[in-house]
């Protein structure tokens, strides 16, 4: 009985983990290329969720179509914030870029609150549930999982098979070297930031499929924390590391929830959130360069 439940929850964790992983790739891409920590990460996920909500409730557009729309909106936001703020802060002390991205996050939250209000919202995408043996899964979650994997694959191919992707990788490896080899580092910075934000908004779309009525201007904070745990698990500079970090995190989150629920007199949900914070500290303590990264 317990094992069955654990297996079911772990499977759900894997499904959610794939989406978590994809939701962290943008963060890792931006840190890898620009060495800037996007502390406002969760706010961009939130914007993606609101794009989905608005498209669905106002225009009746399917969340699956919302993925590319959110990506494009994210590209736009990314370029705007890059050229108005981030560009000027790349050479500044770290304090400046940390506080700037943090403030950008607050700005997004407040703008969305102004437009949509601060109550919790959701949308009802009536899809059937399917029985997978270990667990019963709403089709929407399965779509989200598959969508995440597809996006991760596209990013992988784009990184490895295109000139722009290669230029980005070279900047991650060695910024000075890339400059010498004629890579336009400034453009790589702008593109990476925009793509990172685009990916993050797109992940916001997929995450709505796990939170039926959890869309709210301040929903991003908890995703920021989770994304940091995942990114640190994956080595912080590698989008693929982040993807696998997400899978591991999804497993741990759901697995620990099942186990915490066995302890009498505690709130398992709160404890899983405490655990993610603890994991962050422990990973940073033993291996700040990431657990999953090779070398």
Partner 1 sequence: MGKRLSTYGPFIPVLALYVIIFLVGKGVQGMWQVMAMLTFYCALGQAFNIFLGMTGYVDFGYVAFLGVGTYGMALSITYLAHQGMTGPAVIIIGFLLALIFPALLSMAVGAVALRLRGAYFAIATIGVNEGFRYLIEGAKIWNGSEGMIFTSELNQVLGRDTASGLSTFWADVYLFIIAALAALVTLHFMRSRIGYALTALREDEDAAKVMGINVTKYKIIAFITSACFAGLVGGTSWALKTPYVFPPEVFEIHYTIEAIIIVLLGGAGTLMGPVIGALIYGLSKYYLSIILPGFQLLIFAPIIIVIIIAFPDGVMGVVKQRLRGTSLARFIE
At closest approach, how far in Å is the CB of 20 from partner 1?
A: 15
In terms of phi and psi (left: phi > 0; alpha: psi -120 to 50; beta: otherwise), the region of 36 is beta
Residue among 276, 266, 218 nearest 245 (CA):
276
What is the rounded CA–CA span in Å between residue 4 and residue 197? 38
For partner 1, the closer of residues 24 and 140 by Cβ is: 24
Read off the tokens for 105. 């996050």
What is the rounded CA–CA span in Å between residue 290 and residue 255? 21
Residues 6+ apart with CB under 8 A from 295: none
At closest approach, how far in Å is the CB of 229 from partner 1?
A: 8
For partner 1, the closer of residues 149 and 275 by Cβ is: 275
Q: Is 224 among the residues that bind partner 1 (CB under 8 A)? A: yes
Site for partner 1 in 72-101 (CB under 8 A): 85, 88-89, 92-96, 98-100
For partner 1, the closer of residues 62 and 83 by Cβ is: 83
Residue among 239, 207, 264 nearest 17 (CA):
207
What string of H, E and C letters represents the secondary structure of 229-282? Answer: HHHHHCCCCCHHHHHHHHHHHHHHHHHHHHHHCCCCCCCHHHHHHHHHHHHHHH
Taking CB under 8 A as the criterion, the residue among 6, 35, 64, 137 binding partner 1 is 35
Q: Is 31 among the residues that bind partner 1 (CB under 8 A)? A: yes
Q: Is 211 among the residues that bind partner 1 (CB under 8 A)? A: no
Q: Is 285 among the residues that bind partner 1 (CB under 8 A)? A: yes
Q: Is 110 among the residues that bind partner 1 (CB under 8 A)? A: yes
Taking CB under 8 A as the criterion, the residue among 7, 54, 76, 102 binding partner 1 is 102
What is the rounded CA–CA span in Å between residue 147 and residue 149? 5
Taking CB under 8 A as the criterion, the residue among 284, 287, 291, 293 binding partner 1 is 284
For partner 1, the closer of residues 111 and 130 by Cβ is: 111
Tokens 């722009």, located at residue? 164
Site for partner 1 in 254-283 (CB under 8 A): 260, 265-274, 276-278, 280-281
User: Applying CB under 8 A, which part among 14-22, 108-116, 164-172, 181-189 lies near partner 1?
Assistant: 108-116
Read off the tokens for 260. 């915490």
Q: Which residues pair with residue 129 across a beta bridge?
A: 138
Q: Is 212 among the residues that bind partner 1 (CB under 8 A)? A: no
Q: Is 126 among the residues that bind partner 1 (CB under 8 A)? A: no
Q: Is 107 among the residues that bind partner 1 (CB under 8 A)? A: yes
User: Taking a C-beta distance cutoff of 8 angstroms, is the pair 113, 222 a contact?
Assistant: no
Residue among 287, 224, 226, 263 nearest 16 (CA):
226
In terms of phi and psi (left: phi > 0; alpha: psi -120 to 50; beta: otherwise), the region of 236 is left
For partner 1, the closer of residues 23 and 66 by Cβ is: 23
Q: Is 61 among the residues that bind partner 1 (CB under 8 A)? A: no
Total binding residues toward partner 1, as defined by CB under 8 A: 51
Q: Which residues pair with residue 137 across a beta bridge?
A: 130
For partner 1, the closer of residues 31 and 71 by Cβ is: 31
Give the residues lining the site for partner 1 (CB under 8 A): 31, 35, 37, 39, 85, 88-89, 92-96, 98-100, 102-104, 106-107, 109-111, 113-114, 221-222, 224-225, 228-229, 232, 260, 265-274, 276-278, 280-281, 284-285, 288
């Amino acid at each position: 009985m317990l094992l069955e439940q654990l297996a079911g929850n772990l499977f759900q964790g894997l499904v959610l983990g794939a989406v978590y992983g994809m939701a962290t790739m943008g963060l890792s891409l931006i840190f890898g290329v620009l060495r800037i920590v996007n502390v406002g990460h969760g706010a961009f996920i939130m914007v993606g969720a609101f794009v989905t909500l608005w498209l669905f409730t106002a225009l009746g557009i399917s969340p699956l179509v919302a993925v590319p729309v959110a990506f494009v909106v994210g590209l736009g936001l990314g370029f705007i914030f890059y050229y108005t703020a981030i560009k000027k802060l790349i050479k500044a002390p770290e304090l400046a870029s940390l506080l700037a991205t943090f403030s950008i996050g607050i700005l997004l939250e407040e703008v969305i609150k102004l437009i949509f209000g601060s109550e919790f919202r959701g949308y009802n995408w009536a899809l059937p549930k399917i029985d997978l043996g270990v667990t019963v899964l709403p089709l929407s979650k399965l779509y989200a999982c598959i969508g995440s994997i597809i996006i991760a694959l596209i990013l992988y191919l784009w990184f490895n098979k295109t000139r722009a992707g290669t230029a980005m990788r070279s900047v991650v490896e060695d910024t000075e070297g890339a400059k010498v080899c004629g890579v336009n580092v400034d453009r790589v910075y702008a593109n990476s930031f925009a793509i990172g934000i685009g990916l993050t908004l797109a992940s916001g779309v997929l995450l709505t499929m796990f939170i039926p009525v959890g869309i709210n201007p301040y929903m991003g904070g908890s995703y920021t924390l989770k994304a940091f745990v995942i990114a640190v698990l994956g080595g912080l500079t590698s989008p693929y590391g982040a993807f696998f970090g997400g899978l591991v995190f999804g497993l741990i989150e759901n697995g620990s929830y099942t186990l915490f629920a066995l302890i009498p007199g505690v709130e398992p949900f709160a404890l899983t959130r405490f655990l993610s914070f603890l994991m962050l500290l422990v990973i940073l303590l033993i291996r700040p360069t990431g657990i999953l990264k090779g070398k």
